[in-house]
Chains A and B, each alone.
Chain A
Amino acid sequence: GDSVTQMEGPVTLSEEAFLTINCTYTATGYPSLFWYVQYPGEGLQLLLKATKADDKGSNKGFEATYRKETTSFHLEKGSVQVSDSAVYFCALSDHSGGGADGLTFGKGTHLIIQP
């Protein structure tokens, strides 16, 4: 079955540091890939997405490139801020089965940015 693996957290960085959160996936078809962010006590918000190989998703200074050859979708940001502290989820939607059958999520990475 499909699966998503993210780096374990918490990840603690200083403000203005460079961020990378690793994400790799296993899928039977040709998935779309997503990064979601969750702030304390809230639901998930879509951060960025990519629907095919070599696509780059970007939003709010975050970027991730869909790498089919390495089955990866690593999240990066050049200079993090305290307000970026949250839990980040990598997810995929596999179209091979057809229909709206939900996302497969990684376990989440808790990011802590210190001033």
Chain B
Amino acid sequence: DGGITQSPKYLFRKEGQNVTLSCEQNLNHDAMYWYRQDPGQGLRLIYYSQIVNDFQKGDIAEGYSVSREKKESFPLTVTSAQKNPTAFYLCASSIISQQPQHFGDGTRLSIL
């Protein structure tokens, strides 16, 4: 079955460390997205990509970086510049804009 796979499910970061969250999709979708979810805050867009080798900042991109070297992969790096990284991170994809997005099961990042 097609879908979106996020890994790992749980991740811990030490102070000053960069960590990378994986997102892979086999839905043949062009567009991919990263959201951050905090309790009571809903979801906020970090980065999105409409096509391979292109991506755009969302509403809260500071302290994060992404790459889109392959259509099926859109990894998110949480850098040491992100001072409050503890959150639930969700990856999504869609065929084109205006279509509903499909979500992965998320990665929960915590600080040691």
Contact = CB atoms under 8 A, between A and B. Distances in A.
Contacts of B94: 100
Contacts, number: 67
B100 A100 contact: no
Interface of B: 4, 6, 30-31, 33, 35, 40-45, 48, 50, 56, 58, 90, 92, 94, 96-98, 100-106
A100 B50 CA distance: 6
A101 B56 contact: yes
Contact residue range for chain A?
A: 20 to 34
A46 interface: yes
A24 to B, nearest CB: 14
Nearest to A45: B103
Interface stretch (A11-19, A69-77, A104-112): A104-112
A35 B96 CA distance: 18
A106 B42 contact: yes
Interface of A: 4, 32, 34, 36, 41-46, 49, 51, 89, 93, 95, 98-103, 105-108
Nearest to A107: B42
Nearest to A90: B42
Contacts of B30: 100
A105 B42 contact: yes
A103 B101 contact: yes
B48 A89 contact: no
